Amino acid sequence: MSQPKSSLDGKEVKQNGDPGGHLTMFTSSHSVTVGPETRLLSAFEKDTQARKVYLAGREYYNEEGKTLELHLVGKIRQQLSADPTLRPEYPSSFGLMEFSRQATEVTLGRSSRAKMENRVFGVQTPGFIGAVRLGAELLRQWYNSSPAWCGPVYISSPCDDSLAGIFQAAGIQDIHQYYYWDNLHRGVCLEKLLEDLEQAPERSVVVLSASAHYPTGADLSQKQWAMVTQVLMRRRLFPFLLLPAQALCYGDLERDAWPVQYCVSQGMELLCAQSFSHCFGLYGEAVGHLLCVLKQNSELLSVQSQAVKIVRSLWAQPSAGGAHVVATVLSNSAHLVEWQGEIRSIVERCRLIRAILREKLRLLGTPGCWDHLTEQGGLFCCMGLNGQQVEFLSNRRHVYLLPSGCLNISAINSRNLDYVAESIYLAVTTSP
């Protein structure tokens, strides 16, 4: 009869030499590639130069270099905290219904035919990334009536670095990029974009920025959208639209969402991931929304039930605090007017920074044309700088922007604008 393994002072001896005898799971963790934003922020924080400038952040920064705090949002928070009718309770898996209703209306319009035909539904999500993830999960489990569908999905080049990973985490591995930004001509290259879409297989999903494209700030014009949607419909491609900073491009929620309304008016079904964190300054509360527009209302209940099932496995219920603030503002005409005034001030400030930066680069005699600065919109801007020039800015001038040459225009203010303009001039003339 075999004897049990020996022990020392009653302690079991582990097979791998650990006298505790406990199972070790994380013996060799897999290394993960650090994203460019994380690397940049780390380098910036380690930089000891007093005159350093960080232009790669995602939030809106005011003239003092601080993140957005809307006066109205502060008032609404106080009102909600004193409201005796609001009880601490879990929202439904779909989130706060009034928030979803308002988010849908300001995106599709109050007289939307799709809405009146009951073939639209929305889901509150934990931020923009949560909306994209839920949309990706819905596509994988529902799109093309096949649970085995796993792509292809087409995303723009460049785009948010996390997009491909979100779709891959949902089980969609077939990710491609379509041509979007032309660094040489400093604008959207529609011809190559359309060529890539023409070559995409039928039933591919195409991820398109509706406004304030990240990270370039360059958007399709209404005429270009008409051309893109023609290809989408003829090639039977599915649009997944993005509104990561709704209202911060034109200063109006509905105007920023015009491409969504246009696609719906053409009879297309689509998904749209939205964020209200930027335009309400709710960065710590991650207020997102996924909008789903179907062709037939007969499919509505089955898709909704699938969405609920997915949500329960991902986050169960979203946070209600930020959604209450957004719903309160959007449902009250007086609040809405006040909020729009604050947002338009933000948009006008960003436009002014663009115009002044362009003029300063011109006065410095910076080679090249810089008109694209004022042709882009939103928080982000692609300067058209190459890799050497970007490295020069960080290494020699301590000005940090994304490797693609894109930056957050709101991070430029009266204290650093001259230094940033001079730095770009030196980068272009030193590393042409």
- What's the pLDDT tens digit per position in 394-417? 999 999 999 999 999 999 999 999
Pairwise CA distance, residues 411 & 61, whole Å: 5
Residue 74 confidence (pLDDT) above 60: yes
Instruction: List Cβ neighbours of 8 (8 Å cut-off, separation of 6 or more).
Output: 19
- What's the pLDDT tens digit per position in 86-96? 776 677 888 99
Backbone angles phi, psi at 36, to 5 degrees: -60, -35
What is the model's pTM?
Answer: 0.89
Task: Name the one residue in this structure whose structure tokens are 């957004």.
Answer: 326
Residue 66's nearest CA partner among 321, 339, 413 is 413
Range 324-363 burial, b when 16+ CB lie within 10 A, else e? bbbbbbbeeeebbebbbebbeebbebbbebbebbbebbee
Residue 401's nearest CA partner among 418, 415, 380 is 380
CATH topology agreement for domains 36-68+336-430 and 90-331: no
CATH number corresponding to 36-68+336-430: 3.90.1150.10
Report the first-to-last Cα separation within the chain, whole angstroms. 81
SS3 291: strand
Task: Name the one residue in this structure whose structure tokens are 């200063």.
Answer: 251
CATH number corresponding to 90-331: 3.40.640.10
Above pLDDT 90, what percent of the chain?
A: 75
- What's the pLDDT tens digit per position in 141-173? 876 566 667 779 999 999 998 999 999 999 999
Above pLDDT 70, what percent of the chain?
A: 90
In the chain, helix, strand, coil percent, each to 5? 45, 15, 40
Task: Name the one residue in this structure whose structure tokens are 């077939």.
Answer: 174
Q: Is the peptide bond before 239 cis (omega within 30 degrees of 0)?
A: no
- Report domain extents, the chain: 36-68+336-430, 90-331
Phi and psi based region of residue 86 (left: phi greater than 0; alpha: psi -120 to 50; beta: remaining) = beta
Instruction: List Cβ neighbours of 262 (8 Å cut-off, separation of 6 or more).
Output: 222, 225, 226, 229
Residue 271's nearest CA partner among 150, 422, 121 is 121
SS3 239: strand
DSSP string, 96-144: -HHHHHHHHHHHH-TT-HHHHTT-EEEEEEEHHHHHHHHHHHHHHHHGG
- What's the pLDDT tens digit per position in 167-199? 999 999 999 999 999 988 899 999 999 999 999
- What's the pLDDT tens digit per position in 332-382? 999 999 999 999 999 999 999 999 999 999 999 999 999 999 999 999 999
Pairwise CA distance, residues 245 & 233, whole Å: 26
